[in-house]
Each structure stands twice: as C-alpha cells, then as structure tokens.
Amino acid sequence: MSRSTMARPTMARPIMAPWPLVMLAAPLLPFATSGGTDLYLPQIPAALALFALTVVTILSRRLPGSALGEALLLLAGVAAAYAAPLVLLRQGHALAQAGGLWLYLAGATLLLWRVLALLAGVSGPVRLAGPALFGLALVMLWEILTRGFQVPTILLPPPSLVLTAFAANAADLWDDFRQTVLISVLRGYLIGCGAGFLVAILADRVPFLARGLLPLGNLASAVPVVGIAPIMVMWFGFDWQSKAAVIVVMTVFPMLINTLAGLQSAERIQLDLMRSYGAGYWRTLAMLRLPCALPFLFNGLKINSTLALIGAIVAEFFGTPVVGMGFRISTQVARMNLDVVWATIAVAALTGSLLYGALALAERHVTAWHPSFRKR
C-alpha cells in the first residue's frame, strides 16, 4: 500500500489552502512583552528558530514523496509553533499582548488542519493518529491559552496543573474510583439493568403488567435525580447501597422499554416458524426473540452506562463515607482546589467513555450479523 502512495506523483495531493500563511504577518507584531516593553521576533532567538522551522516545513512540503511524509513534515512545523509559547513562558516573558505569537499559533493551527486532512486520506493504522492528534492539539491549546492569558486557575486550570494534581492525589483518586465505580456504579448498574430486563420479560409474559408498569416506570425515570438522591441516602444510608438505589431508579426504565421493544422486534414469519416446530414460549424466547432483541438490549446498556455514573456522583453529594468521586468534587470545590476537581472529572469522563466503548465493542462482536455491522 505504501509503495503505491510513494509512486503517486506529488501533484495528486490537494493543493494547500493559503490560510496557514497568515503567520507570515506575525513578525510585524510583538512576540512577547518583558518588563513592559514589546519584544519582536529577531530579539528572541528561540522564537526565531522555531518560527523559521515552521516556515521551512511549509516551503519544503512538496519534497516528501507521499501524503504521509508531508503530514509528518508539517506536523513538525505545527509542533514548533505549539512549543514556542511554552518556551517563552519558561523564559519569563508575558504573552497576553503578544499579537505576533498568537498569529503564529493561529497559522499553525490552520496548518494542523491540513495535517489531519492528509492523515485522513492515508490507509492503515496511521489513520488512527488523526483523532489522537486532534485531541492532543485541543489539550495543548488549552494549556497555552490558559497560561498565556493567565486565566485564574479557579476558573480553568491548565491541563499540566490537573495532571500534577492527578499525580499528587493518585491514592485518593484511586480510592474514589474504587468506591464510586467499582462498588456503587457496578452494583447499581447490574441490579438496575438486570431488574429492567427481568421485569420486561415478566411484562411480556403478562400483558396487564406491561400496561400497569410502563407508566410507573416512566414516572420513576422522570423523577429528578437530585430529588431522589437525598431520600435514598435517608433510606439506605451513606454507603454504596443508597448510590446503587439511585442508579437502579435511573436505569430500570430505559432497560425495560428497550428490552420490551426488542422482544417485539421478531418478525411474524420467524415466529410462525417457531410455532410450526411446536416450540413453546421459553424456547421461542431463547432461540428467536432474545437474539432479535440483542441490538435493543445493547442500546439500553449503553444509555445506562453513562446514566449510572452520573447518578452515583450526584448521589454522593448527599452523603458518603468520606470517599467517592462526588464527595471529592463537592469538598474540593468548597476548598477551591479546582485542579483536584478537574482531575476527578477527567477520571469520571474517562471511565464513562471506556465503559461505553467496551459495550460498543461487545455489541459489534455479539451482533455482527445485524445489518448495521454485517460485512459480506
């Protein structure tokens, strides 16, 4: 594959849009301020070197034979631009009024656009580098902008500070993770989804139950979590049981209606076939209706994976043994330790994404036959 892209003439690549060239105007404006005086590009050797590197990569972008080569070359130019403000900050310069530097950075970000576009056209595992670079660039910009404009850390700490807080509080964060995710969320999720599933089977078997339970379930899921959480803490105490109860209240209904819809999804002709074999209710359920319901079941499980995490964290605001993500957020906000709050948020977001991703992967594996996944 790489050979064919190597052999392809350079003109096959789309022409670069002119927008990154706005950075050529950067030397006209100050790159930093130091002690009240503006410093221009030639006065700061490190910045000059980095700027020159970026310009050289843009000028020589046609030299590599492949799209991947050009992407890597331009990426070096972008990296130099992203490094510049960090280097200047380290040298003790102020950047809030450094128009030239920000123009340079804006041009480099537009250059990154081209890098990502080039990578999207490349085949093979390199394609995955695109989304990763995109995320990394966002974090870098967050770091550069918060530090460059001296945003108060109470409002938004730079990611490096969050990372430091993460390392410094790793033991606490792990305890929180264990309490909230491994104990409360996991148990509440399993009980909630399991109960929703079983009630759906029951409601399917006994039609009047479906008519009675559906409005009730609807009502339960419409109850606001901040209202139900303190009540559950009063009923079930400070430990995981109250969090699991909140999660159960939140997750039963989505699982119930998804399972019911899934059980209805078997086609008449497929049901007739089972009937023609003299198969009874349970056998038809196991061999036909549940496999048909799998895509719906996974929908319910995926929706509930994020609901469960939110439910547990919110419920912890209303009382916990002194551990847990919700507890950590509420106490650290009160102490103005926003970096720890952000670290906890990062753990929660990461956990939620991983749970969802794992479920999506399992779904792909289990329902590979479904029209949305099938490959000939």
Partner 1 sequence: MPAAQPAPLTLVPPAADAAPRTIVDVRNLTLTYQTTDQPVYALSDVSLSISKGDFISLIGPSGCGKTTLMRVVADLEQPTSGEVTVNGMTPEQARLKRAYGYVFQAPALYPWRTVERNVMLPLEIMGLPRAERQQRAREQLDLVGLSGFERKFPWQLSGGMQQRVSIARALAFNPDLLLMDEPFGALDEITRDHLNLQLTRLWLGTRKTCIFVTHSIAEAVFLSTRIVVMSPRPGRILDVIDCDRDLPRERTLDIRESPEFQRIAHRVREGLMEGHSYDD
Pairing of strands 37-39, 32-34: antiparallel
Q: Which is nearer to partner 1, 81 or 266 (CB)?
A: 266
Maximum distance among all Cα pairs of the chain, rounded to whole angstroms: 91
Instruction: Enumerate the H helices of 63-128 as residue ranges.
Output: 67-90, 99-121
Q: Phi and psi (nearest 5°) for 359?
A: -65, -40
Q: How many CA atoms lie within 13 A of 43 on its CB side?
A: 15
Q: Give least dist CB 321 to partner 1, A.
A: 45
* DSSP-based three-state secondary structure for 33: strand
Q: Give least dist CB 364 to partner 1, A.
A: 14
Q: Which is nearer to partner 1, 3 or 374 (CB)?
A: 374
Q: Give least dist CB 287 to partner 1, A.
A: 7
* DSSP-based three-state secondary structure for 39: strand
Tokens standing for 353? 């994404």
Amino acid at 203: A
Q: Give least dist CB 298 to partner 1, A.
A: 14
List, in order, residues 6 or more apart from 263 with CB less than 8 Å away.
200, 201, 204, 285, 289, 290, 292, 293
Q: Give least dist CB 271 to partner 1, A.
A: 9
Q: Which is nearer to partner 1, 269 or 334 (CB)?
A: 269
Q: Which is nearer to partner 1, 335 or 374 (CB)?
A: 374
Instruction: Please tell me the distance from the alpha carbon of residue 100 to that of residue 44, in angstroms, as a whole number.
Output: 12
Report how far apart the first and last C-alpha atoms of the chain are (Å, whole number). Answer: 23
Q: 370: left (phi > 0), else alpha (psi -120 to 50), else beta?
A: beta
Q: Which is nearer to partner 1, 272 or 358 (CB)?
A: 272
Q: Give least dist CB 363 to partner 1, A.
A: 13
Q: Which is nearer to partner 1, 210 or 279 (CB)?
A: 279
Q: Give least dist CB 206 to partner 1, A.
A: 23
Q: What's CA 196's distance to the chain center, in Å?
A: 27
List of residues contacting partner 1 (CB under 8 A): 267, 269-270, 272-279, 283, 287-288, 291, 294, 367, 369-371, 374, 376
Tokens standing for 132? 């990763």
Q: Which is nearer to partner 1, 87 or 294 (CB)?
A: 294
